[in-house]
Amino acid sequence: MSIQNKINVAVIGATGYTGLDLIYMLSKHAKVNIKYLCATKNIGKSISFFDKRIKKKLPKIINVSKINWNILDLIFLSLPNNEAQKIIKKNFNKNIKIKFIDLSADFRISNPLIYQKNYKTLHKAKDLIKHSLYSIPELNKEKINNFRIISNPGCYPTSIQIPIIPLINKNLISIKDITIDSKSGYSGAGKNFEKKFTHKNLYSSTFAYNTKNHRHICEIDQELLAKTKKKVNFTFTPHLLPTFRGILSSIYVNVRAGVSANILRKELLKYYKNSRFIKILKLNSQIGSGNVLNTNNCEISICETSIKKKIVIFSAIDNLVKGASGQAIQNMNCIYNFPEHFGLK
C-alpha cells in the first residue's frame, strides 16, 4: 500500500465487458492506483478507445509480461475460464504480498474433478484452490483478508444465493423441489456471445439453454451445501434476453407449514438489515432488472401465487456489476478494510 494509503492494482483482461466495467469503477475509487492494464491484443491503445465513459488518464494497454510485480498489491483477473489459474500459479509463490481477485470460474469449484467435468479441462493450479475463498461479501462469514486468492462468484449464482440461503438456514422453505428460472442480458456470455449463441433473431428473441448441464449448476449446488449444510434439490433454467445487461431470477419455492410470504420477507429484511446493496421490496412488488442496471444492488421481491404454499422470489442484479466487477470491488474493499461502498453505487 502506498504512502497515500492507496493500493496499486493491475487489471489483466482489460478490454472485455467485465474488464471495462471494472476499470471504469476503479478509475473513480479514492483508494486505488491503476498501475497496469493488460490484454493480449490492442497493445499500446488507450482504454478510453474501448469505453468512452472512462475519462481518467490511465496507463496504455500492455502485455502481462511487461508487469513489474514488485510494485503491486492486488491483481484483478478478468479472463476467459482456464487462463487466470496459469497466471496465478506462476506468480503466487514469487510475489507473496500480492493478492488476486479472479472473476472467472477458475477457483469457484473446490473439487478439481468437478471443475474438470464441467469446464472440460484439467485444473492447472489445483494445489492453490485451498488458498482461495469464494466470496459473496453479504454471505461470507470467513476472514477475507486471510486469503490471497478471492474467487468472485458467477452472476447467476449470486442472484440465486442471496435470496434463498438465509431462508434455507431458517428452515422456512422446502429444499426438495426448488425451481429456478433465470434470464440474463447477452453480455453475460462475453464479447464472443454471437459464436456461442447462433439461434435466429438473437437481438429480438428470448432463448432457453443448458437446462441440464449449465456450468453454474455445480457452483450453486456446492455453495448451497456449504452455506446451509443441506443438500438442496433444484432445477436451473437460464435464458438469454435481447438486452445488453441485467439478470432477473425467478425462484419458485414451497414454504413450510405455518410460513407465509410475509415471514420470508421479514427474515430477509432482518438478515440484510446492515447490507447496503441488498434491497428488499414491499410484499408482492412488481420487479424487473431496470432499477439495478449499472449498480451493485440486488433487489428482491417476495410474491404470493395462486397456490397457497407456492411463493416466487424474484432477484434482480446487474450481471456485470453485482454479478461480476462491482462484487469484485466490494471484495477488494473488504480485504483492505475500505468502506464497502467505495467506488460503487
The DSSP secondary structure of 126-157, one letter per residue, reads: GGGGGGEEE--TTT--S-GGG-SEEEPPPHHH
CATH number at 7-153+323-335: 3.40.50.720
Which pLDDT tens digits describe the chain residue by residue (345 residues)?
655 689 999 999 999 999 999 999 999 999 999 999 999 999 999 999 999 999 999 999 999 999 999 999 999 999 999 999 999 999 999 999 999 999 999 999 999 999 999 999 999 999 999 999 999 999 987 789 899 999 999 999 999 999 999 999 999 999 999 999 999 998 876 656 566 667 778 788 888 888 888 899 999 999 999 999 999 999 999 999 999 999 999 999 999 999 999 999 999 999 999 999 999 999 999 999 999 999 999 999 999 999 999 999 999 999 999 999 999 999 999 999 999 999 998
Q: How far apart are CA 322 and CA 298, in angstroms?
A: 7
Residue 334 annotated in active site: no
Active-site option among 155, 218, 298, 303: 155
Nearest to 42 by CA among 19, 68, 76: 19
pTM of the prediction? Answer: 0.95
Domain boundaries, the chain: 7-153+323-335, 156-321
Between vectors from CA 96 to CA 95 and to CA 101, what angle results, nearest 5°?
A: 85
Asked if residues 135 and 151 have their Cβ atoms less than 8 Å apart, the reply is yes
What is the topology classification, in CATH, of domain 156-321?
A: Dihydrodipicolinate Reductase; domain 2 (3.30.360)
CA 267 to chain centre: 23
